[in-house]
Structure 1
Amino acid sequence: MSAALQLFSTKDAESVSIDDVAALAGASRALVYHYFGGKQELYMAALHSAAEELQERLRPKAPGRPLDQLAAGLTRYFDFVEAHQAGFAALLRGGPSNRAGEVGETIENVRQSLFTMILENMSAPTSNPVLRTTLRSWIAAVETAGLDWLEHRDVERPRLEKMLVDYMIALLGVAANHDPEVHELFDRLIHDQFD
């Protein structure tokens, strides 16, 4: 599994072979097939493992103000992006042909987990459609920013992470104009941050 994660993190899935994984792991090709059945099963096992690692990294590590927690979470997110560059890019740009199936489901589970963590961190209402749309839009922006950063690297990571926190504040500010519950949340977050 460690060898598969290393290869899928540095190359896109289509260019990794079972032979590559076996050679890096110091195992026989037959052994890899025995445990995983084939390349797709190995890829999915590696993807699930990477998704679990990302979700664990995103969990708040210590109590703190919500926007500070968000900033710390972004740093851990970009640490993950940097450690798994090619795999992250291949996954979010399309990955294997069955992206709509189990791969797509795994990606959506990570997004849902991130969404839930943000709601919990902000002590936010869980059933507000304006807030849901706002947070999902922000998560999409973070993914896009990660891909852009990997491709160009012309914005320093700390600056990009700060921009994304500011972007969350801006999005919540706009949403606050459209929903009283979000307005209350926005006021509380800003008050907590600068109190």
Structure 2
Amino acid sequence: MTTGARRRMGVEERRQQLIGVALELFSRRSPEDVSIDEIAAAAGISRPLVYHYFPGKQSLYEAALRRAADELAARFVEPRRGPLGARLLRVMGRFFDFVEEHGPGFSALMRGGPAVGSTTTNAMIDEVRQAAYEQILAHLGVTDPSARLELVVRSWVSLAESTALLWLDGRRIPREELQLQLVHDFAALAAVSAAYDGEMASLLIHMLADEPADGPFGDLVDRLATLLTKIPAVTAQTPV
């Protein structure tokens, strides 16, 4: 009788194990600082065996990014029930969960690492952005967006990405505040666009119609109303 025998993994199972190990290491440290030897040791196999499944570090890195990209895109999936503001706030909560769990990996995905500038990496980044864009349109109930709406949604997706990257550099603002602020940013971008376009104005009215006073969008209205009460006092003191 043998004891403690290690189960032999199939090819695909081993590949997935290596991808998971690599992603975990890349999530804690910059991919440039993670070696094949470390990945092999963490997976409990030899360095040559890693190369049996992946021709090099970049191919393993790209496979790990593929998994990270798929997981990140999935964070934007939200049941289309209830007020839009609350839905977006939940999406931002899951988005920042991912950012916090995979800080260096998220930075590598969005800024590039060993595969910076590669067609594969750029395509994965574009896929994540497109998935987020399509999810937001679905929440708005729009299948054929106008040029202004496309600008609003894509600008907001880019803003969420850049905000998360800046937050990782020191985390000087509580993430809960940034999550709420990004939801407010979406409403603000839509409102500014609505001031220029009747179609956007109709969409904004529809978007806000069922929002509760104590929801994220209602909170923004209260904050702006408080701010506006202070503006006359400021302008009155300004010399003509």
**TM tier, smaller:** over 0.9
Q: Which amino acid aligns with 2:29?
A: K
Structure 2 unaligned segments of length 5 or more: list them: 1-18, 214-240
Q: Do 1:7 and 1:16's aligned partners in 2 also have CA atoms closer than 8 Å?
A: yes
- Range that drifts further, 151-160 or 87-96: 87-96
CA–CA distance in 2 between the matches of 1:62 and 1:24? 41
Q: Do 2:62 and 2:115's aligned partners in 1 also have CA atoms closer than 8 Å?
A: no
Partner of 1:158: 176
- 1:64 aligns to 2:92 (yes or no): no
- Range that drifts further, 73-82 or 142-151: 142-151
Partner of 2:27: 9
Correspondence list, 1:1-195, <5 A? 1-61=19-79, 63-194=81-212
CA–CA distance in 1 between the matches of 2:100 and 2:31? 17
CA–CA distance in 1 between the matches of 2:116 and 2:181? 33
CA–CA distance in 2 between the matches of 1:29 and 1:176? 58
Q: Do 2:115 and 2:121's aligned partners in 1 also have CA atoms closer than 8 Å?
A: no
Structure 1 unaligned segments of length 5 or more: list them: none
Q: Which has the higher contact order (CA 8 A, sep 6+)?
A: 1
SS of alignment partner, residue 207 of structure 2: helix
Q: Do 1:60 and 1:69's aligned partners in 2 also have CA atoms closer than 8 Å?
A: yes
CA–CA distance in 2 between the matches of 1:98 and 1:82? 22
Q: Which amino acid aligns with 2:155?
A: S
Q: Do 2:80 and 2:139's aligned partners in 1 also have CA atoms closer than 8 Å?
A: no
Q: Based on CA coordinates, which of the two structures has the bigger radius of gyration?
A: 2
Matched residues, number: 195
Query: TM-score normalized by structure 1?
Result: 0.94
SS of alignment partner, residue 64 of structure 1: coil
CA–CA distance in 2 between the matches of 1:82 and 1:42? 22
CA–CA distance in 2 between the matches of 1:39 and 1:100? 14
Question: Which structure has more helix as a fraction of its residues?
Answer: 1
Q: Do 1:57 and 1:77's aligned partners in 2 also have CA atoms closer than 8 Å?
A: yes
- Could you say what the CA RMSD is over the residues aligned between the two structures, in angstroms? 1.6
